[in-house]
Amino acid sequence: MQGKVVLVTGGAKRVGAAICRKLHAAGANIALHYRSSAQDALALQSELHAERPGSALHIQADLLDPQALSRLVEVTISHFGRLDALVNNASSFFATSLSDVNDQNWNDLIGTNLKAPLLLAQAAAMELRHNHGAIVNIVDIHAERPMPGYLLYSIAKGGLAALTRALAQEMAPQVRVNAIAPGVIVWPENAEWSDEARRRQIIAHTLLKREGEPDDIARTVKFLLNDAPYITGQIIAVDGGRSINL
C-alpha cells in the first residue's frame, strides 16, 4: 500500500487504532479521525510519525454533523494530495429497547453507524473513482441476527450491511466496497458488559472458544483493501464462528 492514503473513522483507539497501525505498516499514509479521544489520536499520530515522518494526520470531527463529513474528506485530500480508501469504523453502541426509541437515540445510532458512512462515501466518491479505490465498512454479526435489547443498533448495522452491497453496485466498476462483521473482539466499554459470567457465556458460543483480537479485524481490512482486487459487495464475518453457532 506504499503511497496510498486511507481515511479511518474512529481511528484513535481500540479496533480503529489497530487498523491504522496495520495499514501504516503496509506503507499507507493515514488520516486518523476521532471525535473526543484527542489524547489517543495525538499519541497514535506521533507513534506513526516516529516510524515514517509525515505519514499520519489526526482530524477531529463529529460524525453527526453532515458538514464535518465532507470536511474530513477535503482535509485529507488537501493534506496528502489524494484519497485511496475509506474505512468506516466509528460506531455508537448502547442498548435501546422499543420503549427507549426517541429522536436522540435514533439520530445517534443511525447517524454514526449508517448515515455517516453513506455521506462519507458520497463525499469521497469522485476521488475514490479517480484512484480506483475501495471502501471497507465495519458492520456486526448482529446485522443479520439482531441483539436483544439493542433494537436501534441492530437496525443501523443491518442498514450498513445493505449500504455495503448497494454502494458496491453504485460505485462499480471503479470502486470496490466490502464489509467486515466482527464478533467478540474487544468488549464494549459499557458497564453492563463487564460481567464475567456473561462474557464466558458469549465466548462459549464461538466455535473457536476464545475472543478475537483487534489485529484480526485489521488484517482483514488490509486484505480487502490491498489483496482482494476481485472481491466487492461482500461481508466477511470475523467472529470465531459465533454467527453460525448462536
pTM of the model: 0.94
What pLDDT, on a 0 to 100 scale, did the predictor assign at position 178? 98
What pLDDT, on a 0 to 100 scale, did the predictor assign at position 191? 66
Q: At what angle do helices 14-25 and 214-226 cross, to 10 degrees?
A: 50
What pLDDT, on a 0 to 100 scale, did the predictor assign at position 203? 85
DSSP, res 243: G
What pLDDT, on a 0 to 100 scale, did the predictor assign at position 199? 83
Catalytic residues, by residue number, are 153
CATH code of residue 216: 3.40.50.720
What pLDDT, on a 0 to 100 scale, did the predictor assign at position 126? 98
* Residue recorded with cell 473457536: 208
For the chain, how many structural domains are there in total? 1
* Residue recorded with cell 466477511: 236
Q: Give the domain extent around 188.
A: 5-244
Residues of the chain falling short of pLDDT 50: none
Q: In the chain, what are the helix, strand and coil shares in percent, each to the nearest 5?
A: 50, 15, 35
Which residue pairs, CB below 8 angstroms and at least 24 apart, start in 98-107?
A: 98/151, 100/151, 100/152, 101/151, 101/152, 105/152, 106/152, 107/64
